[in-house]
Amino acid sequence: MWGGRFAEGPASVMREINASIPFDKRLWRQDIAGSKAHVAMLAQQGIVSADDAAAISAGLDQIAAEFAADGITENLDLEDIHMHVEARLAEIVGPAAGRLHTARSRNDQVATDFRLWVRDAIDMVDAGLKALQIALVTRAGEHTASVMPGFTHLQSAQPVTLGHHLMAYYEMIRRDRSRFADARARMNQCPLGSAALAGTGFPIDRHATAAALDFAKPTDNSLDSVSDRDFALDYLMAATQCSLHLSRLAEEFIIWASQPFGFVSLPDAYSTGSSIMPQKRNPDAAELVRGHAGRIAGCMTALVITMKGLPLAYSKDMQDDKPPVFEAHDLLGLSIAAMTGMVGTVTFRTDRMRALAESGFATATDLADWLVREADVPFREAHHITGRVVKIAETEGKPLADLPLPTLQAIDARIDARVFDVLTIDASVASRKSHGGTSPDRVGEQIKAARAELNIG
Ligand code: ARG
């Protein structure tokens, strides 16, 4: 490639450390699309002849067909995907192929290819997340009135509805989709034509290449353009955040599937047995989603540290931007698909959830609230009275709703029979009608709004 200046070839370790083809071959579609846009613009501007441009463009189409059919034969001497395409183009087109690289450098080329790739990756993730949201609202819709214990500190706190719980994850995924959409909008500017770092003396039309590649506009500073990897970091940060959400849902399924909880039975399709313990049914897919969140965060950290302190403009360190993005993307895609499958097909043991919600004194707050509302007791005092009631219920091994009225009145004479209206878990959830609250009515509204947002009626 640089025989003009270099007398000796590279050491074999140099060939190996320098080559990015083993991983950047994933950019081939974007590389060819970028080159086609570039050569069309060069012809339009009279920088290359129409004949040469047509030959180059046809050659690029042929290479695309070959790569799609046969894959890419890696040659470390050709370093990266850009040189692989150019070398094959020279074989097909002859010397005119050399005109393609006029008014560009691999620095703006790789920045363009990678942006195109990340933009496609975001579109794929968004479609996956939408499918997960559909699974969540669908299952939530089946369980707007299914009562389960709500937890804080993983201690039974107040009864909630399963629909409400699932819709909490809908909200997280909604924020993830908006983060990816922000990243997409911000990165949608085309670096092509920034050349090595300083722009070019050729009369190129950067607006034309930007439009041809569906970017909103060209980037505005050539130095920034070839050194910027914010778009990759934005992707990785959004992916990290998203993977955290997925890992939390995965963790709930793992806990819920355990025998002491027994809230769900995970589908066979997402579980494994044990080679030694016949009774086992392990939540492996959920555990791997939980684990993948760690790896995705690791990918994000890797690129943060690669970029830290790099001076303008391009440095070869930046070639290391791709493996973490590719790895995180693959892991995230698998995690989203696995969670979508699990949410869609898990069996919820609502009888078991109800039994546990009833056993955990989860309506204690309702008793305290009743004392405030109906007997004008200050909340702190009501809290104290309720604590004494819970203590007795615990000693007698009964749910609050099963304590006889005289027992309650012995603790505080202001309690009367109306209190039983709020001590059941159904009454408790039905009463929580504040905006965003757990009552079946409110959850039904949340689901309705979500279905409208997803365009599924
Ligand atoms: N393979 C390189 C990368 O991914 C392409 C850019 C090379 N530019 C250079 N000046 N060596 O970063």
- Distance (Å) of CA 313 to CA 118, 233, 263, 302, 304: 21, 17, 55, 20, 17
155 burial (CB, 10 Å; 0-12 / 13-18 / 19+) is exposed
Rg (CA), the chain: 30
Whether 274 sits among the annotated catalytic residues: the reply is yes
Whether 258 sits among the annotated catalytic residues: the reply is no
Residue 4 pLDDT = 75
Residue 11 pLDDT = 84
- Confirm or reject: Cβ of 371 under 6 Å from ligand 1: no
- Stated as kind and residue range, the H or E segment containing 148 is strand 147-152
Listing DSSP states for 356-373 in one string gives HHHHTTTTHHHHHHHHHH
Residue 46 pLDDT = 98
Q: Directed axis angle between helix 162-187 and helix 230-257, to 10°? A: 170
- Confirm or reject: Cβ of 164 under 6 Å from ligand 1: no
Which of 12, 153, 275, 434 is catalytic? The answer is 153
Alpha carbon of residue 433 to chain centroid: 31
Whose Cα sits closest to atom 1 in ligand 1? 80
Residue 194 pLDDT = 98
- Confirm or reject: Cβ of 21 under 6 Å from ligand 1: no
Q: Is 278:188 a contact under the CB 8 Å cutoff?
A: no
Report CA(320)–ligand 1 centroid distance (Å). 10
Rounded CA gap, 346 and 267, in Å? 6
Which of 49, 178, 274, 359 is catalytic? The answer is 274
Whose Cα sits closest to atom 3 in ligand 1? 319
- Stated as kind and residue range, the H or E segment containing 151 is strand 147-152
Q: What is the pLDDT along the chain (457 residues), one digit of tens a residue?
A: 666 777 777 788 999 999 999 999 999 999 999 999 999 999 999 999 999 999 999 999 999 999 999 999 999 999 999 999 999 999 999 999 999 999 999 999 999 999 999 999 999 999 999 999 999 999 999 999 999 999 999 999 999 999 999 999 999 999 999 999 999 999 999 999 999 999 999 999 999 999 999 999 999 999 999 999 999 999 999 999 999 999 999 999 999 999 999 999 998 888 888 787 877 789 999 999 999 999 999 999 999 999 999 999 999 999 999 999 999 999 999 999 999 999 999 999 999 999 999 887 888 999 999 999 999 999 999 999 999 999 999 999 988 999 999 999 999 999 999 999 889 999 999 999 999 999 999 999 999 999 999 999 7
